[in-house]
Amino acid sequence: MFFMPTSSDLQRKLAGIDRKGYGAYKSITGTYQYDFFTLYIDHVQSDPFAPPSRMRVRVSQRVAAFPAGLYRTRPGRVALEDFLTRQFAAEARKYSEKRGTGKSGVIAIDRCGQEVLERTSMVVNSQYVEARFTVGLPARGRTVMAGEAVDILLHHLPAIVKHSLLYASLNAEKLTEHVQLAEDQEDLRRQLAELGLVAFVADGSVLPRESGISDLPLRGPNVIAFRSPPEYSVTVTLPHRGKVTGMGIPRGVTLIVGGGYHGKSTLLRAIERGVYNHVPGDGRELVITVADAVKIRAEDGRSVSGVDISGFINNLPFGQDTTNFSTSNASGSTSQAANIVEALETGTRLLLLDEDTSATNFMIRDGRMQRLVAREAEPITPFIDRVRDLLDNFDTSTILVVGGSGDYFEVADRVIMMHNYLPRDVTARAREIAAAAGGERKREVEAPLNRVRERIPLPQSLQWQSRDKIKARGLDDIQLGRENVDLQHVEQLVDNSQTAALAAIIKYATAKYVDGKATLMQVVQAVLRDIQREGLDIISPFRGQHPGDFALPRKYEIAAAFNRYRGLRVKQK
């Protein structure tokens, strides 16, 4: 019969290695039964300065006693796991302190931002609740401090578990609100298609953020709550909140205009983040966008591999082929064209653009410039002349912030003006102005844009040596062997743990699905199917050690990471 070691056995082990070399900590790797939970010490760090030791605690649902209704739906389960991660983090901070050299004494779990993401930090099911976290095992120099380790693992850890993973210890009202809000958000996102909408902004939303470096909501007496203009007012009925009224943006081409500092980009920013659910109190809880929206911008210097951008750019000097375009240093216009085509390749139905972060020559060529520079001398077909093709031929809508190009009035279905952070409909006036201008510019299209060429990644361009590092470094950077993947302009990547997951996904996908036959999207979808079936743990390089620092990225960001790897080579299908 198997007898599991207990917390008392762990205490004796620690006492036996006191003041020994740091490597002696390896002996405590294993599983220990406490009074009301089980501790798994999966991996012990090699020294005090190495990444902290990975551990898990598991509480049986007989003890944790979370009502099944809280995790019955997928959005509810993800929200419950998010709430518990935040609660565990808050409790851990009470006891986490420097206790020696390096990372000694630090107790930490994955950090959560304003978005509610599926993470590996917490698992809730009908059998148990499990938290995945790290502990910096304490040392003086490189000598074991057993007394401090006992304090952390035998005294502080039970207190953290008691106050974060037991339903009876939590604020049931706040927990229920957290879960029910996520279910309402997911239901509203589902309703968008039925209503013919691509985005919804609830009345009363607070869109401005605290600062340029903070994603927290702006607070104070000068905050202006959002209010829909009557022309776009829509009422939806949600499972828990009931009837909610706000601004519904229909499919089609929508312009957001207005003076500087009146909230145009703030509204667009909220809409681009609306592909994710948000926590209560964020201000954007009911700013909901279709799940497949993609933010597009110019990205000077990015690499491009085998993308057909001929629908936007053709007849380049020296006969450079744009039907199979590759470069290690894209210009503003070629990068923006590639970003749009890659988004279409992933299946987006909504493009989000801001004039401020776009290449001017890609967006518009006005009538005066058309008269000065002949069409045959200009390789760019500007976005203004393709935006209707995207809608008609790909069913892809566009929301575009415009501050200086009134020519877009002619191609827009609606024009929303922001003034003092409040929207109003100015579509009729914009059409009058467009009509009075008399069509000064001419549409510059030689052939319709009606297809996207799928691309197949070549295995030989994605081969890693066993010694090659594949890891994330913060939000914006992935190291793939000797190359770095720069993601700073992938603006819907919102969490460091998503980037950590992207690094692992690239390695996993390359080993399992990149075979020279599968298209990039087939590869991405195959990985996401595995994750849906097996959980996000499936991509972990630490099999059996259950890392807790992954958050699920969307397929659009996975494709974006592949596309920005400078070593990528493809063939068109």
C-alpha angle 497/500/506, rounded to 5°? 140
- Neighbour order of strands in the sheet with 470-472: 470-472, 477-480, 483-486
Which residues on neighbouring strands pair with residue 484, listed in sequence order? Answer: 479
pLDDT for the residue 372: 84
Tokens of 7: 């917390």
List, in sequence order, the alpha helices (H) in 232-366: 264-273, 332-346, 360-363
Decide: helix, strand or coil at residue 88: helix
148, 159, 485 from 91: Cα distances, Å: 18, 8, 35
**Kind of pairing, strands 115-116 and 277-278?**
antiparallel
* DSSP state for residue 336 in the 8-state scheme: H
pLDDT for the residue 405: 87
Tokens of 152: 């952390």
| Separation of alpha carbons 239 and 237, rounded Å | 7
| Separation of alpha carbons 194 and 420, rounded Å | 32
pLDDT in tens, 366-389: 878 878 887 777 888 999 999 999
Crossing angle of the two packed helices 74-95 and 157-164, in degrees rounded to 10 = 140
259, 298, 336, 539 from 53: Cα distances, Å: 52, 41, 43, 20
- Torsion sign (Cα): 211, 475, 304, 400: negative
Under 8 Å between Cβ of 449 and 567: no
Under 8 Å between Cβ of 186 and 240: no
pLDDT for the residue 222: 86
Backbone φ and ψ for 36, nearest 5 degrees, come out as -135, 10
pLDDT for the residue 543: 65
Residue among 114, 116, 284 at smallest CA distance from 206: 284
pLDDT for the residue 466: 64
Residue among 22, 25, 20, 44 at smallest CA distance from 142: 22
End-to-end CA distance of the chain: 58
- Torsion sign (Cα): 465, 484, 301, 310: positive
SS (H, E, C) 421-456: CEEEECHHHHHHHHHHHCCCCCCCCCCCCCCCCCEE
Residue the block writes with tokens 């007898």:
3
Under 8 Å between Cβ of 124 and 165: no
pLDDT in tens, 62-102: 999 999 999 999 999 999 999 999 999 999 999 999 888 99
309, 336, 412, 452 from 341: Cα distances, Å: 7, 9, 21, 7
Q: How far is CA 220 from the centre of its chain?
A: 29
Long-range CB pairs of 389-393 (<8 Å, 24+ gap) are 389/311, 389/445, 389/448, 389/449, 389/450, 390/340, 390/344, 390/351, 390/449, 391/251, 391/252, 391/253, 393/448, 393/449, 393/450
pLDDT for the residue 545: 66
pLDDT for the residue 513: 97
Residues of the chain where predicted confidence (pLDDT) is lower than 50: none
Tokens of 120: 């590996």
Decide: helix, strand or coil at residue 133: strand
Residue the block writes with tokens 């470094």:
473
Under 8 Å between Cβ of 168 and 220: no
Residue 94 CB neighbour total at 10 angstroms: 12
